[in-house]
């Protein structure tokens, strides 16, 4: 597959290209333990379908997995609010209101920026929960245990071992593919967002909250992987229920036999096409 020019470009160049194109931008937001490059194939599909993809990193994201694993300290100390404000600033530089697509904590960030009225339409895929989403399935707690198991991890950057990645991300693919995904995509992640999400329903001032009733939120699609350990259906359906209080369009799509790696594994195109079809309807 040939690359489109923007994929390796700094975000400033991606924004300039999107504004110059006159096309609807699509902003992709990655979650913990991944980099913006995890969206490269998606960005190409959206570019081929007439959109202007923009894949910003979180603040200080390294450019490559190798660099990220060599310098894990750059991920430490980032909160949900820091990263949400960062993406809001990126979106503010676009000439047209974008569609926004996020996975995992990127799904939570997507709902936060949509709740600020910044998205023309949005897709949250196997999202982290926000304040008001009550289910805490055991599998989600187990997937978060490498971080939440030690309070000192709050201000650290935490990598996953292969076995931890296998459970949290690659639970629905074979061993060989799981190892391939781990080598190609896995990087350390800040502990702070997980602690924030875990305590969101105990903290009225939490940053892990989304304004799901804002009438300017725009249409929202929640996508769940039915085999996901990290963000299982109970969480996604509770997200859908809360978001359905919005006067706008709120839909949910379930994809069978898929784990948390559904945006990067060999079945990524099915998920991408579901998101593309929704964005086409509304943006």
pLDDT in tens, 175-223: 999 999 999 999 999 999 999 999 999 999 999 999 999 999 999 999 9
Per-residue pLDDT at 9: 80
Per-residue pLDDT at 185: 98
Closest by alpha carbon to 119, among 181, 29, 194?
Answer: 29
Query: In the chain, where are the structural domains located?
Result: 5-282
Share of the chain above pLDDT 90, in %: 96
Residues in the chain, overall count: 283
The full DSSP string for 116-174 is TT--SEEEEESPPP-TT-----HHHHHHHHHHHT-GGGGGSEEPPPHHHHHHHT-TTS-
Share of the chain above pLDDT 70, in %: 97
Q: Is the whole model's pTM more than 0.85, yes or no?
A: yes
Per-residue pLDDT at 4: 39
For the chain, the farthest-separated pair of C-alpha atoms sits apart, in whole angstroms, at 48
**For the domain bounded by 5-282, which CATH number is listed?**
3.40.50.1820
- Asked if residue 3 has pLDDT above 50, the reply is no
Per-residue pLDDT at 8: 55
- Asked if residue 224 has pLDDT above 50, the reply is yes
């Amino acid at each position: 597959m040939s690359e489109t020019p923007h994929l390796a470009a700094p975000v400033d160049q991606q924004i300039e290209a999107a504004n110059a194109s006159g096309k609807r931008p699509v902003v992709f937001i990655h979650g913990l333990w991944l980099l913006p490059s995890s969206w490269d194939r998606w960005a190409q599909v959206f570019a081929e379908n007439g959109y202007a993809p923009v894949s910003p990193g979180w603040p200080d994201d390294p450019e490559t997995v190798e660099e990220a694993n060599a310098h894990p300290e750059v991920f430490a100390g980032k909160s949900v609010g820091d990263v949400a404000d960062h993406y809001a600033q990126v979106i503010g530089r676009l000439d047209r209101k974008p569609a926004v697509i996020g996975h995992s904590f990127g799904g939570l960030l997507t709902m936060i920026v949509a709740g600020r009225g910044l998205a023309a339409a949005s897709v949250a895929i196997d999202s982290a929960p926000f304040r008001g989403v009550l289910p805490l399935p055991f599998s989600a707690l187990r997937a978060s245990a490498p971080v939440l198991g030690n309070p000192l991890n709050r201000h650290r950057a935490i990598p996953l071992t292969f076995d931890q990645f296998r459970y949290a991300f690659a639970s629905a693919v074979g061993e060989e593919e799981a190892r391939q995904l781990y080598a190609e995509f896995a990087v350390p992640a800040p502990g702070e967002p997980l602690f924030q999400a875990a305590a969101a329903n105990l903290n009225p001032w939490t940053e892990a909250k989304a304004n799901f009733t804002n009438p300017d939120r725009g249409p929202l699609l929640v996508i769940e992987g039915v085999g996901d350990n990290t963000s299982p259906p109970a969480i996604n359906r509770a997200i859908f229920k809360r978001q359905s209080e919005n006067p706008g369009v709120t839909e949910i799509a379930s994809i069978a036999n898929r784990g948390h790696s559904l945006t990067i594994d060999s079945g990524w195109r099915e998920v991408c096409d579901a998101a593309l079809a929704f964005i086409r309807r509304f943006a």
